[in-house]
Amino acid sequence: MHTAALQLRSLREALLPMMGFTAWHESVSKEGTPIWTRYIAKTDSWEIRPMTPEEEAKAFWWYCPPFI
């Protein structure tokens, strides 16, 4: 089980450059909501903000594939 989680994390990190990101970090705000810090390669900038449900669905599509 632990190995599968590591493989999934590696897969996610491998896909990030294809999504236009070169860095991806999750932290939690005081309110308990996830805050995502992303380095965007296309604009060479950092973005810190909550992730929208649409962005989360695109980023983590393998957790809930559209055909299920």
What are the boundaries of each domain within the chain? 15-63
What's the confidence (pLDDT) of residue 18?
Answer: 62
Which helix H or strand E contains 11, and what residues bound it? helix 2-15
What's the confidence (pLDDT) of residue 30?
Answer: 73
pLDDT tens readout for residues 23-64: 556 677 677 766 677 766 667 777 777 677 777 777 665 555
Whole-structure pTM value: 0.34
Report the mean per-residue pLDDT for the chain.
64
CA distance from start to end of the chain: 22
